[in-house]
Amino acid sequence: MKPFGILAVLLFGLAAATTWAAQKPRARDLGVPFDGTPGPLNAITDVKGVEVGHTTLISGSGKLVVGKGPVRTGVTAVFPRGRDSLDPVFGGWFSLNGNGEMTGTTWLEESGVLDGPVMITNTHSVGVVRDAVIAWRIRKAPPDDEGYSWSLPIVAETADDGLNDMNGFHVKPEHVYHALDSAHGGAVEEGNVGGGTGMVCNEFKGGIGTSSRVLPEKLGGYTVGVLVQCNYGRRSQLRIAGVPVGREIPDKTVRDEDIGSIIIVVATDAPLIPTQLKRLARRAALGLGRDGSFAGDGSGDIFIAFSTANPGAIASKGVRDMKMLPNQQLNPVFLATVQATEEAIVNAMVAAETMKGANDLEVIALPHDRLREVLKKYNRLVE
Amino acid sequence: MKPFGILAVLLFGLAAATTWAAQKPRARDLGVPFDGTPGPLNAITDVKGVEVGHTTLISGSGKLVVGKGPVRTGVTAVFPRGRDSLDPVFGGWFSLNGNGEMTGTTWLEESGVLDGPVMITNTHSVGVVRDAVIAWRIRKAPPDDEGYSWSLPIVAETADDGLNDMNGFHVKPEHVYHALDSAHGGAVEEGNVGGGTGMVCNEFKGGIGTSSRVLPEKLGGYTVGVLVQCNYGRRSQLRIAGVPVGREIPDKTVRDEDIGSIIIVVATDAPLIPTQLKRLARRAALGLGRDGSFAGDGSGDIFIAFSTANPGAIASKGVRDMKMLPNQQLNPVFLATVQATEEAIVNAMVAAETMKGANDLEVIALPHDRLREVLKKYNRLVE
Amino acid sequence: MKPFGILAVLLFGLAAATTWAAQKPRARDLGVPFDGTPGPLNAITDVKGVEVGHTTLISGSGKLVVGKGPVRTGVTAVFPRGRDSLDPVFGGWFSLNGNGEMTGTTWLEESGVLDGPVMITNTHSVGVVRDAVIAWRIRKAPPDDEGYSWSLPIVAETADDGLNDMNGFHVKPEHVYHALDSAHGGAVEEGNVGGGTGMVCNEFKGGIGTSSRVLPEKLGGYTVGVLVQCNYGRRSQLRIAGVPVGREIPDKTVRDEDIGSIIIVVATDAPLIPTQLKRLARRAALGLGRDGSFAGDGSGDIFIAFSTANPGAIASKGVRDMKMLPNQQLNPVFLATVQATEEAIVNAMVAAETMKGANDLEVIALPHDRLREVLKKYNRLVE
Amino acid sequence: MKPFGILAVLLFGLAAATTWAAQKPRARDLGVPFDGTPGPLNAITDVKGVEVGHTTLISGSGKLVVGKGPVRTGVTAVFPRGRDSLDPVFGGWFSLNGNGEMTGTTWLEESGVLDGPVMITNTHSVGVVRDAVIAWRIRKAPPDDEGYSWSLPIVAETADDGLNDMNGFHVKPEHVYHALDSAHGGAVEEGNVGGGTGMVCNEFKGGIGTSSRVLPEKLGGYTVGVLVQCNYGRRSQLRIAGVPVGREIPDKTVRDEDIGSIIIVVATDAPLIPTQLKRLARRAALGLGRDGSFAGDGSGDIFIAFSTANPGAIASKGVRDMKMLPNQQLNPVFLATVQATEEAIVNAMVAAETMKGANDLEVIALPHDRLREVLKKYNRLVE
């Protein structure tokens, strides 16, 4: 086995590349039909202020030796207000099937407040990522007026133990710092990057995917952005745009059981309070349902939503003024969440490339041409 | 307006007719493709012991006069172990969007036990149904060993205020007793019956629908049955078997907003404990998602699941012996729940017939021929 | 049995009497030590806008004949903004032990909004009260801008089946209307009134109790008010001001098991959002804990909290401006909730008078002189 | 500053001493009155199979230098079936106030199953403890039949940033392994040990405390054991046995705000299913309430309960036979939980000794003689 540090370092830098998105087709480019109007980037970063950073670790090949590799993993950071802001946001979460971890949710549920980034990594690296986020915050700035830094970070995971030496604990604090420090607006890298590096989705190669929707001005003009780390599903269940794509492309399946997971992050600039953001998080389940999931027992299907509205409103002094969109006006925001989730998952599969990992396991990419053929067969191809 | 009592009485008796099912096509008969293997009746009553009773109230026509009619409403009763059993079952529930009522859920959540039938009616008749269930139980038998009768009944609702004089409070205790007393196994009436009489689903006529799945013996041979009272959705969102049926049949829509609701009852004979039944209830959301719902703000999307296994196990004396299916074996049960929910909703629309109600509002049935044409257009018609 | 209508009518009128409070000692008057500063009325009505109405039904005596009596029951209505307001409030709830009913909580949990009064009655009259609240609202005013009236009322209960013919369903719609129509600010009737008429608390006579706390100006000057319908507890566990009063006064106990319940309503004018009101509701458990409860299996210990701040903010049009007190400033509000709950329960027992009910069951009042003796024995009497 | 490694190593070994308990008085020894009958050890280890291990890290003194110390922290491990068992247990949890972390609860809530130990440490070491538990499990034994090891460990925390250099991240994987490897039955070390080393409780020195109750045979003969890591509360609120001890001993308080937390672990051998264990966890709140807590905004009051009954029942193959105690028989178990929690907290304060930590902050022990005087003043001293 070759020393894997070299490739890892190479890939490290790549994560910040912003010219990336133009080079690869996305689901819409292939003619997959989706409803609603995406934002300019069709990404979570269409929500102003949101920044995403990845650290991608790929090294080694062949037989798995615990602690040695092969390594196919990483870390993804999503900052609601950008990496330089210490201003918290309102948030809410939902667990469709909780065979997974998202630290920090007990306080999120209690307070309705999300203080810091949302981190996503592999199952066995949640701890190192969590403590590293705290250490990064301590170094970054003094505690807030109340004497607090971030102590209860949000860290979620899905398992990459098929392709990756997950028991080797290859994510280190410096990888976490890199994901945090390299977070940026603009186009978001998709596929085999960040926390999504070694993930498998509907028995195709999965990973990170994103999408967005922009509402008409008369409905408020709000943006909803979604980012997924996609690792769920059995091939036979996969539907894309309602078409039974999974059954039509039964090649090279890799699982007996639905043992994967999906983390879904929903961002919006609509002025929503925590109760409403829990509602948004729950809608992600319906987008996932459209793509065919039945949320298997082994799945950690955990969703989080936040609003970038009301900057400065969640302070500790005095009574705060804030804005709220009434419940009766949430339908367009709900529908946008379902639609962007449906599309972000497909984007993850479209972007991910065939990967060979631990013990030479190969997980194939969703073949773009075959996808187009199937959509055409069912009269759903957009040409 | 004609005296509405006469027609109501006529329809009263009809509810118990068991020859009904053979006379009308169901979704499968029309060529709609569904996954999985249904039970002999393709109904919730395929779960042994489950009995369903309806009272259907239809009378009057023309302009709505509060308290006079027109009346298009009713009551549906679902008994887990049949109407003569006082033996409780384990249960669990989930609210996907709680703009609705399901009484009794606080105790269900606390105890994991469902004691009595699940009742479904219109929004403004929940109270009368609740108290009437208590009265019926008191008359039926003495309290249990602990001195308890049923005091916290499960009563759910959706709103039929479009077609029905809902503010006229036309459901009376005797209508509740009739639904309870007429509950039976065998084929289940669908469409404009019982609590579903005046309901609207995706802007087609909705109502009661049901479906079931039977697992292969090697997966336990369990049955999962679903019954829905279907009143949700906007036409433009409706998908059937993944096909955008709603957009293809845009005729005669009746709503500006998603203000409807859906109650979903999931029954199984798999030996599940309450924690697991909550998981089942949550899967109903994924079946609903397949049919296109985004769970609008005005929607009361509330789901309940119970297991008829472990008869006699929930007694008050001594330590009880019981059976449990381990979590790791739940995937087939989960998938069956998603599939049966997806189909039950379509069955409701297929069975319901065009209805004219209050103020001559007409809600059209899903046109069977058009449905077949659309499925064919998208290469999804089973012929 | 005497016709019970006469006494019922008499008591009907009494409920609105506002000179009542001056005539009976409350817990503080007896020398029970409590922490914190109560408002001028030491009642939930110290929160501006809150109005309380009772209907008290007492008639008949001797042997219980179902449907005939004796009757010892009633209805209590708590309006957040007064009975003439249709402006909703933010709210939240918590079930410490859910062997009880509080209708409307599914929507309260989903929306964070409480629309209408909080009603409390006996277990078997929840349905009639619920539907009557809807009917009252329909008569009162046209639907709101969105076309809605109240359809999902909050109705809670505790069981008075010891003293009352609960299976006789003696609460009728007109009793509900009376409680609603007679709601008023000012002093709140306590003890054997309204929904609390036939209740038993720690095996003393229980019923309605109330208390309040006012915060110093530097902590915001907010008021927290609590009203309880108190029907819980075993004598042996009762603590008052930390003193084992229950063991010291073991006379005439009436229960083998903890089968009672308690409903706790918390009101405040602090500008809290729904997430925060759920936190307030949870604090009621700690006040109840101070009085010795262990929340028995049979207990329906269900708590609701609302904020009268932000009038007009929960409308359906446009984006709303509102105020919020940051989480970091909630400690005084939390402590006030615990203290007011602790005191409201004792006030209920102090106000309630010995009652003889069905089958001549007699439940004694907490003897005031004995209470003082016990407090003195433990050096806790305030003289 | 002296090298702190030396003292740390010394204390490392001490944690396993089993002769410890005999040497220090506990709350009962001082004459504090408690209800109910404790087990032989009056400890969580009275529940057969439960084992507890501590790693205690104390080193350095004087001015805090981040990363250098002083160090006053540690790790505590609680194994439901002993450290050599890989057999999971049923469990449930409750967050009274979620300003804290307990990882693994999303899966606990979903599955009802607790797989591995419950770990407790300081707030900023949750991550390292989590990943180390996974690593320890991987080394210990091969994956289970389904291919799983422990991937979602339960790790809880309270903050010791007053006395400890919490931002120095002094807990290392080897400290976690030591707590796991040294877990034992028998007497449990209390006070300044393990995760509780640097904790503060009601502004006295806090830490680890434990207690138990044994039910009479006619009530099933079950044992309930509680272990707390006690770091909550403001002095003025402290009640012991109902007596306002906090106000009577106002010396040397150290906090302006309620910013502490408490983790409560409840163990029982009663055959309870997950739904019932959630109920048990909720009762811990009432025990905490008896000691005067109002659950301040800054408090992470998170409770977990498990049952050691049904060994071998939570396997992945076939249908399992299990036992369940009906809900109607839970009252004695509930009461035992409240009582043991109330006592475990007082035991923590009685055992903890005055500690000087970071920046020479000194937190005094609850003075035993003063406690006795105050109890005597209020006629509550057991002599």
- Are C338 and D290 an interchain contact pair (Cβ–Cβ within 8 Å)? no
What integer pLDDT is reported at residue B341 of this predicted model? 98
Whether complex ipTM tops 0.90: yes
pLDDT band at A299 (very low <50, low <70, confident <90, very high): very high
Tell me the pLDDT band of C253, cut-offs 50, 70 and 90: confident
pLDDT reading at C236 higher than 50: yes
pLDDT band at B258 (very low <50, low <70, confident <90, very high): low
Q: Please give the residue that has the higher pLDDT: either B258 or A153.
A: A153
| Residue B21 clears pLDDT 50, i.e. is over it | no
pLDDT of residue B14: 43
Distance CA B359, CA B221 (A): 49
Q: What's the pLDDT band for A62 if we cut at 50, 70, 90?
A: very high
Instruction: Determine the residue of chain A that is closest to B240 in CA distance.
Output: A242
What is the model's pLDDT at position B173?
Answer: 98
> How far is C321 from C310, CA to CA, in rounded Å?
8
Which residues of D carry out catalysis?
261, 299, 301
Any B CB within 8 A of A380 CB: yes
Type of residue found at C42: N
Identity of the residue in C66, C101, C107 whose CB atom sits nearest the CB atom of B104: C101
pLDDT over 80 at D321, yes or no: yes
More confident position, A57 or C22: A57
Instruction: Please tell me the distance in Å from C29's CA to the nearest CA on chain B.
Output: 37
In this structure, how many other beta carbons lie within 10 angstroms of the beta carbon of residue C38?
A: 22
Of B194, B189, B180, B277, the C-alpha closest to B231 is B194
Bridge-based pairing state of the strands A200-201 and A204-205 = antiparallel
User: Does D328 contact chain C (CB < 8 Å)?
Assistant: yes
Answer whether residue B91 shows pLDDT above 50. Answer: yes
Extended beta strands in A123-222, E state: 154-158, 200-201, 204-205, 207-214
Candidates A97, A103, A131; nearest CB to D128? A131
| Contacting residues of A for C327, CB less than 8 Å apart | 111, 113
Of C127, C138, C300, the CB nearest to B127: C127
Contacts of D among chains (3+ CB pairs under 8 A): A, B, C
Check pLDDT > 90 for residue D380: yes
Task: Work out the mean pLDDT of chain C and round it to a whole number.
Answer: 93
Chain B touched by C262 (CB under 8 Å): no
Which residues are D355's β-sheet partners? D363
Name the packing angle between helices C126-140 and C173-181 (round to 10°).
60
- Chains C, D: CB contacts within 8 A come to 95
Say whether pLDDT at A1 is over 70.
no
* D319-339: average pLDDT: 96
Say whether A330 and B377 touch across the interface (CB within 8 A): no
pLDDT tens per residue across span A160-210 = 999 999 999 999 999 999 999 999 999 999 999 999 999 999 999 999 999
Residue A11 pLDDT: 47
* Identity at B97, one-letter amino acid code: N
Q: Which of A21-35, A208-222, A227-241 has the weakest average pLDDT? A: A21-35
B212 is catalytic: no
Nearest to B124 among C105, C124, C134 (CB): C134
pLDDT value at position C243? Answer: 98
Write out chain A residues lying below 8 Å of C147, CB-based: none
pLDDT greater than 70 at residue C141: yes
Q: What is the pLDDT of residues B23-36, one digit of tens each?
A: 799 999 999 999 99
- Tens digit of pLDDT for each residue in D184-204? 999 999 999 999 999 999 999
Q: Measured on CA atoms in the order B342, B347, B353, B359, is the torsion positive or negative?
A: negative
Residue C317, pLDDT score: 79
pLDDT digits (tens, 9 = 90+) for C48-63: 999 999 999 999 999 9
Query: Which pLDDT score, from 0 to 100, does residue C379 have?
Result: 98
pLDDT class of D94 with cuts at 50, 70, 90: very high
- On the question of pLDDT at D65 being above 70, the answer is yes
Closest CA to C53 of C136, C141, C114: C136
Percent pLDDT > 70 in chain B is 93
D145 inside 8 A of chain A by CB: no
Chains touching chain B through at least 3 C-beta pairs below 8 angstroms are A, C, D
- Catalytic residue (one of B149, B212, B261, B307): B261
From the list C241, C282, C294, which residue is nearest D283 (CB)?
C294
Quick one: which of B296, B327, B291, B324 has its CA closest to B310?
A: B324
What is the least distance, in Å, from the CA of D236 to any CA of chain C? Answer: 10
A276 vs C contacts (CB less than 8 Å): 112
**Mean residue pLDDT across chain A:** 93
Count CB pairs under 8 A between chains A and C.
Answer: 71
**In chain B, what percentage of residues exceed pLDDT 90?**
86
- Say what the pLDDT of residue B256 is: 62
3-class SS of residue D340? helix
Q: Do B320 and D319 touch (CB under 8 A)?
A: no
**What is the structure's pLDDT at A253?**
82
Q: Is the pLDDT of residue A16 over 60?
A: no
Give the model's confidence band at D171: pLDDT under 50 very low, under 70 low, under 90 confident, else very high.
very high
> Cβ(C272)–Cβ(C307) under 8 Å?
yes
Q: Report yes or no: A123 at the D interface, CB cutoff 8 Å.
A: yes
- Out of A59, A149, A211, A299, the active site residue is A299
The DSSP result for A182-203, as a single string, is T-BSSS---BSSGGGTT-EETT
pTM of the predicted model as reported, rounded to 2 decimal places: 0.95
pLDDT at B9: 41
- 3-state SS assignment for residue C111: helix
Q: Is the pLDDT of residue D21 over 80?
A: no
Closest to C212 measured CA to CA, from C326, C379, C341, C24: C341
User: Which DSSP string corresponds to D162-179?
Assistant: TTS-GGG----HHHHHHH
- Searching chain A, which residue's CA lies closest to the CA of residue C279? A110
Q: Is D338 on the interface with C (CB under 8 A)?
A: yes
Question: What residues of B are in contact with residue C126 (Cβ under 8 Å)?
Answer: 103, 127, 130-131
State whether residue D320 sits within 8 Å of chain B by CB.
yes
For residue range D124-163, list pLDDT tens digits in order. 999 999 999 999 999 998 887 777 778 999 999 999 999 9
Residues of chain A with Cβ-Cβ distance to D107 below 8 Å are 98-101, 300
Closest partner residue to C127 among B107, B123, B130, by Cβ? B130
Residue range A221-267, pLDDT digits in tens: 999 999 999 999 999 999 999 999 999 999 888 866 667 899 999 99
pLDDT 10s digits, A85-135: 999 999 999 999 999 999 999 999 999 999 999 999 999 999 999 999 999
Cα separation, A110 vs A117, in Å, equals 18
Q: What is the pLDDT of residues D286-319, one digit of tens each?
A: 999 999 999 999 999 999 999 999 999 887 778 9
Tokens 């998202």, residue located: A102
Task: Considering only residues C130 and C318, tell me which one the structure prediction assigns the higher pLDDT.
Answer: C130
Stretch (H or E) spanning C122: strand C118-122
- Spatial separation of the C-alpha atoms in residues B305 and B94, rounded to whole Å: 9
Span C116-133, pLDDT tens digits: 999 999 999 999 999 999
Locate B282 and state its tokens. 């949550």
Please report which confidence band the pLDDT of residue D20 belongs to, taking 50, 70 and 90 as the band edges. very low
pLDDT at D16 over 90: no
- Note whether B325 contacts D: Cβ–Cβ < 8 A: yes
Average pLDDT, chain B: 93
The whole-angstrom distance between B85's CA and the closest CA on chain D is 19
Report the SS3 class of residue D234.
coil
Q: Inform me whether the pLDDT recorded for A13 exceeds 70.
A: no
Asked whether the CA dihedral C107, C109, C113, C118 is positive or negative, the reply is: positive
Band of residue B251 on the pLDDT scale cut at 50, 70, 90? confident
Judged by a CB distance cut-off of 8 A, whether residue D238 touches chain A is no
DSSP state of D357: -
Contact state of A167 with D105 under an 8 Å Cβ cutoff: no
**Nearest-angstrom CA–CA distance, B82 and B51:** 5
DSSP-assigned letter for residue A267: E
